[in-house]
Amino acid sequence: PKTDIVFLKVHKSASSTVMNILFRFGEMHNLTFAFPTGGGNQLFYPRHFLAGFVQGFSPWSPQRFNILCHHMRFLQPEVQKVVSSSAVYFSILRNPVQLMESSFVYYKSTSAFSRAHSLEEFFRQPYHFYNPTNSDSHYAKNLMTFDFGFNPDGEVSAERVQLMLKAIEASFDLLLISEYFDESMVLLKEMLCWDLDSVVSFPLNIRDSSTKSPLSDTIVEKIKDWNRLDWEIYIYFNRTFWERIDRDIGRERMQQEVKALQERQAELARTCLQGTGSVAPKDIKDSSLQPLQHGNAKILGYNLKQGLDKNMEHTCRRLVTPELQYSSILFKKQF
């Protein structure tokens, strides 16, 4: 199994669920994490990543960490200072239309979104709300492009897009697609030589559907245009994702693998969870399992069954521990 891993945690793309998978694997195999100094939950985002942001890193005696997975703005030469040269790099993408809809609710308090009552209103005159010089403007335009380290306000020429895609491809071994999460986990498991249980997960940091709004075709087209760089990244790597499945696994075996993964997840849900799945924040009984509530989003969580034996309780609890709590548990363990 591969143990040296860089995960670029792209915002609002099922990345908290992936992070939980990495946390559990790292904890189980006693691996070291590249934590933000002081144990925060972001590596001084939105600044470009620097090795000095990592707790315990020193340029004089560079220590290599096994897993780098907290929010950062990617800058590979600096990342290479804190992980081994054999580390596997991967990230996850999401359709920019859904990404923007999600960001609008989740990052409601940012400068670009706070005054707009709806995406419709925002897109009637985007530059009335959006100012590229504001320090939080990246949440409102080409957010994936920004997280990968590029300029979200750059011109969209064919040449520039090509350079960006080639740069991402050169840096990353695998790009997952959040709309095909189970297929993504099968690809990840294959690439990392992990077993099935290592990539099983329950969806974390997801919104209650009451805060989701359907988008008109007109708005969908406006979102694609506005996030043209993100759209180019998504379209390109969605294609290579399926090419890779066809090349390395084949559709038939992929279906079998996905089925096995879903069955295992269902089995764990029956074992671990009260009720059938996620619950509204007000219904979470154990305060240590309460996810951070952000913007206008209602973030769901879980209740564990009572009376589980000690090992099973630990397994189940780790599957549903929200990112901030889990990160701080691991930080305390490591330091």
In whole angstroms, what separates CA 14 from the centre of its chain?
Answer: 5
| Backbone angle region of 209, left / alpha / beta, with phi > 0 → left and psi within -120 to 50 → alpha | alpha
CA–CA separation, 323 and 333 (whole Å): 15
CA angle at residue 321 from 318 to 326, to 5 degrees?
90
CA–CA separation, 219 and 306 (whole Å): 46
Summarize pLDDT for 126-144 with one digit per residue, the tens: 999 999 999 999 999 999 9
Summarize pLDDT for 230-288 with one digit per residue, the tens: 999 999 999 999 999 999 999 999 999 999 999 999 999 999 999 878 999 999 999 99
Residue type, 132: P
**Weakest mean pLDDT among 42-51, 196-205, 270-279:** 270-279
Q: Which H or E element spans position 68? A: strand 67-68
Q: Where are the domains of the chain?
A: 5-334
Q: What is the mean pLDDT of residues 48-64?
A: 94
Name the nearest CA neighbour of 316 among 303, 331, 299: 303
Report residue 185's pLDDT band, with 50, 70 and 90 as the boundaries.
very high
Helices 228-248 & 96-106 angle (0-180, nearest 10): 120
Give the CATH class of 5-334: alpha beta
pLDDT the model gives residue 209: 81
How much is the pTM?
0.96
Longest CA–CA span in the chain (Å) reads: 60
pLDDT the model gives residue 295: 80
Q: What is the mean pLDDT of residues 191-198?
A: 98
Summarize pLDDT for 209-246 with one digit per residue, the tens: 887 889 999 999 999 999 999 999 999 999 999 999 99
CA–CA separation, 279 and 131 (whole Å): 37
pLDDT the model gives residue 7: 98
How many CB atoms sit inside 10 A of residue 243's CB? Answer: 10
Q: What is the mean pLDDT of residues 43-49?
A: 97
The half-sphere exposure of 136 on its side-chain side, counting CA atoms within 13 A, is: 11
Helices 228-248 & 181-192 angle (0-180, nearest 10): 60
